[in-house]
Amino acid sequence: MTKDVIALTPRMPDVWALMTSLYAGGSDLDLSAAAEGAVVQLHGPGGRPLVSVESPVLVQVPGEAERLLGQSAATPYWWTEARASTAVPEAERLAGVVCGRLNALLGGSTWPPEAAASTKVVDVSAVPSAGSGQPAVDVVTENAAVVLIDRPVVALTSWLAEIMRTAVASRRSLQIVTPRGVRLTPAARTTLARVPNRWVVQDPECGYYDGLSGAVLRWRDGAFSPAFAEDGTAAVAPAFTRPASGTSEAAREGTSDAVSEGTSEGEAGEVPGRQLIVALRTVHRADEHLLLGGGPEAAWKALTGTAPAGWGTAEPVNLPWSPRQLTDLARERAPEPTQLLVVGSPDRPAMATVRVTRTAKGVEEDTVLTIGYAADEHPPLDRIEALADTLVREHGLRTMLTSVRAARADLTTAPRLEGPPLPVAFTLGPDDVHTIGLDRARRPPVEVRPKHLGPTPRPALHYPLGDGTDPEAWGRLQQLTAHLKGDHSRPSAPARQG
């Protein structure tokens, strides 16, 4: 397992400050560089990596320290992470001293605050046999790269993204093991929801379970995998389905009453609320005039009243919002896809993942924007149709699905059963309407009356499906998509219009 210590300093840790801090273990420790120089490692006498220190990151986006650490910091500031291996008892204290020395030289603060209580040299003497790689990777097998993390919120940091890329390249799954009280940011959740990655939660009752599915897990063949009963079904951990203290039945079932009962905060910081989820795809012509980010920005402004605050490729999100810089990065990486993170201002929890891909159709932007609302707030569903019209007219919208779910207002995910998002509306862009045929597309076999958006000669269609509380909306969406994917070569019978 690793222990993380983070220094937040108003001044950049230069080479001399880093060297002074790194020699907190005395002159007997060895230094080496990893990840093409982005990581500096301290090695003990036996050669085992004790502490890894990431290259400092300049954070210019307000609210990131509060979102990820629960600790305030005035922007701009430098974020420097030190990771200690728990295989050596002195390593955690050594990481704290490294960050404490940075604070002593440059000012600022440390997370967790108690980690940097001393700046004295740490005597590292008894070191187990040498390991390999960064201390951030605890176990590497033929099938999995296992990382043990113990911090309140697991984010998609640059080192975690690098481990994921390495795992994919080596055909291994990324498996993160955490205590039960840990939560995931939306970006970390998206990463661990991809097969074959897994969030492994330690549990005193069953040992381990999957934090996203609840399946009881066992270590087998060099990886955590579901434990199947004799009848072939996967067992579900009681902790996954057990309601947290203060969580209402309505909140667990995703009904509208969940946000009006005023339930109290319970185990693992359970906070009732809602999340508005807007998944949209836009397509642009690949030319020298291309400017990405317009679709996400339009959605942000329509639903929150302000533009995004920042963007980046990992957490903490460190760059001020700039469609031009975002476009330049995507163009530099083409034809490989670019995965980006976007965050909003601290007063309204909002985060988006944006994937930019070069295809035969042009340059596609796939955006999933999630916005959090407290128990006494209501998502602005009345703005969705106008947003869809703007995206059709100005940003090349192909599809947009809007949904609502009962979940934490701060957007983090606890290892607990959550109700699925309930569809609110689906928008089909003009190109797909034209391909399917306007007559067919506007006559779905459900009691839904689509609205024409965009230019009259080549319209898009906007299908209202529910109010975010009606489970029947899933059935309407499934019928609609099945109808739209049907055989377009034959005319369809007129659909019932209610």
Q: Within the chain, which residue ranges are assigned CATH 3.100.10?
A: 139-241
**Structure tokens belonging to residue 344:** 């909003």
Closest CA to 338 of 353, 323, 348: 353
User: What is the per-residue pLDDT for 2?
Assistant: 59
Q: What is the mean pLDDT of residues 293-316?
A: 97
For the chain, what is the mean pLDDT? 86
pLDDT (tens digit per residue) in 197-212: 999 999 999 999 999 9
Question: Is 218 a residue whose pLDDT tops 50?
Answer: yes
Percent of the chain at pLDDT above 70? Answer: 84
Q: How confident is the model at residue 260 (pLDDT cuts 50, 70, 90)?
A: very low
Cβ(219)–Cβ(143) under 8 Å?
no
Q: What is the pTM of this model?
A: 0.87
Q: Where in the chain is the domain with CATH 3.30.310?
A: 2-116
Dist. CA 166–CA 182, nearest whole Å:
24
What distance in Å separates the CA atoms of residue 119 and residue 102, rounded to the nearest whole number?
9
Q: Which residue has the higher pLDDT, 253 or 11?
A: 11
Preceding peptide of 13 cis, ω within 30°: no
pLDDT at residue number 216: 96
Burial 373-409 (b: 16+ CB within 10 A, else e): bebeeebebeebbebbbbbbeebbbbbbbbbbbbbbb
Taking residues 433-455, what's their average pLDDT? 93
Distances (CA, A) of 192 to 13, 189, 195: 32, 5, 8
Mean pLDDT in residue range 386-411: 97
Among 277, 214, 219, residue whose Cα is nearest residue 240: 214
Would you give the distance in Å from CA 208 to the centre of its chain?
22
150 burial (CB, 10 Å; 0-12 / 13-18 / 19+) is middle
Rounded Cα distance, 2 and 59, in Å: 24
Query: Using an 8 Å Cβ cutoff, are 370 and 342 in contact?
Result: no
Cα gap 106→11, rounded to integer Å: 6
Tokens 């489970």, residue?
471
CA dist., res. 341 & res. 229, Å (int):
40
CA distance 82 to 54: 7
CB 392 within 8 A of CB 453: yes
Q: Is the pLDDT of residue 266 over 50?
A: no
331: phi then psi, degrees, rounded to nearest 5: -65, -40
21: its two tokens? 């801090």
pLDDT for the residue numbered 97: 87
- Which of 217, 207, 214 lies closest to 416 in space, CA to CA? 214
Comparing C-alpha atoms, which of 423, 463, 467 is closest to residue 446? 463
Identity of the residue numbered 449: R
pLDDT over 90, % of the chain = 65
The domain at 2-116 falls in which architecture?
2-Layer Sandwich (3.30)
**Rounded distance, CA 325 to CA 313, Å?**
12
Which range among 274-283, 399-408, 481-490 shows the weakest confidence by mean pLDDT? Answer: 481-490
- Asked, as a colleague might, if the bond just before 335 is cis with ω within 30 of 0, I would say yes
Q: Is the predicted pLDDT of residue 35 greater than 70, yes or no?
A: no
Number of Cβ within 10 Å of residue 232's Cβ equals 6
Is residue 228 classed as helix, strand or coil in its secondary structure? Answer: strand
Interacting residues of 260 by C-beta distance below 8 A, sequence separation 6+: 375
Q: pLDDT by residue (tens digit) across 36-60?
A: 667 787 877 666 678 888 889 999 9
Domain 139-241 has CATH 3.100.10: yes
Helix and strand numbers, DSSP H then E, in the chain:
13, 26
Confidence of residue 252 (pLDDT cuts 50, 70, 90): very low
- CA-only gyration radius of the chain, Å: 25
Distance from C-alpha of 50 to C-alpha of 54, rounded to nearest angstrom: 13
Q: Which residues contact 242 (CB under 8 A, 6 or more apart)?
A: none
- Cα separation, 402 vs 380, in Å, equals 11
Q: Any idea what the Cα angle at residue 410 is, between residues 406 and 414, rounded to 5°?
A: 70
Interhelix angle 384-394/294-304, nearest 10 degrees: 160
Distances 402 to 221, 337, 424, 442, 464 between C-alpha atoms, Å = 41, 24, 5, 19, 10
Of all helices (H) and strands (E), which one includes residue 165?
helix 158-169
How far is it, in rounded angstroms, from Cα 468 to Cα 488? 31
**CB contact at 8 A, 91 and 14:** no
CA dist list (Å): 27 to 31, 52, 134: 10, 17, 21
pLDDT computed for residue 85 by the predictor: 76
In DSSP terms, 178 is beta-bridged to: 201
- Interval 99-144: pLDDT, tens: 988 999 999 999 998 886 665 555 555 444 444 444 457 788 999 9
